Amino acid sequence: MSTPAFEVADATDWQPTAGSRKPPVGKPNEHLGSRLWTVDCGTMTVTTLHDKFVYELQQAYYIETELVDALGKMVESTSDEEISEGFETHQRETGDHARRLKTVFNAIGEEPEIRQCHMLDGLIEDREEFLDNAADDADLVDLYNVGAGMKVERLEVTTYEGLLTHADRLDLGNDVTDPLDDTLDEEKATLRELKGVAEGSKIQQLAGRLMG
């Protein structure tokens, strides 16, 4: 059996903290609980639609676990209280999303495993590179974080829409589709909220100031 990478479990009582950090290999994830080990599943041969569903489900699990840390950094670096609280709320919801994915794995008889999603990694790396190059300006960072959050939400919405399409074609049943539907609804709601922030007067004022 593969060595556990880090732990994800029920997140009902989990409360995020600003600047949360992903725990080291083999240690419990204090923000996501302590009863479910996830493992890096390495390579697999994808030959059927079911295989593709499992492959992308593993990537979705990776996205949710990685976002605990990424959202914590966005909470920490965002100066506007309202925007920061929005990221903190989504960080908390991310624990619920990971828990729901656990139920989907169980429903199809698979062990919960993570598979690296390079698209998410790229978005995280882009943000880190921007912060390394940006001026020390809180408004500039807030403006960037809102845009970065929207990019992540679009990735998550697309991921869950794809999983639901496959689940319907495979006739996997409500035990699979219901938790995926619930998370998709929440991801869409978060994206709408971020769009509202991006188009709102506060961000418009920040952008206007940065235009000089």
* Average pLDDT estimate for 199-206: 78
Is the residue at 76 inside a domain? yes
Indicate the pLDDT class of residue 120, thresholds 50, 70 and 90. very high
At 212, is the pLDDT very low, low, confident or very high (cuts 50, 70, 90)? low
Spell out the residues 6+ positions from residue 177 whose beta carbon is closer than 8 angstroms to its own: 164, 167, 168
In total, how many domains does the chain have? 1
Summarised one tens digit per residue, pLDDT across range 29-73 is 444 443 333 444 556 789 999 999 999 999 999 999 999 999 999
In-domain check, residue 127: yes
In degrees, rounded to 5, the angle at the alpha carbon of residue 52 between the alpha carbons of residues 57 and 96 is: 10
Q: Is residue 164 part of a domain?
A: yes
CATH of residue 144: 1.20.1260.10
On whether residue 1 sits in a domain, the answer given is no
What is the span of the domain harbouring residue 60? 46-210
- Summarize the confidence of residues 70-82 as an average pLDDT: 92
Answer whether residue 81 is part of any domain. yes
Q: What pLDDT score does 173 carry? A: 97
Q: Centre a 10 Å sphere on the Cβ of residue 105 and count the other Cβ atoms it contains.
A: 19
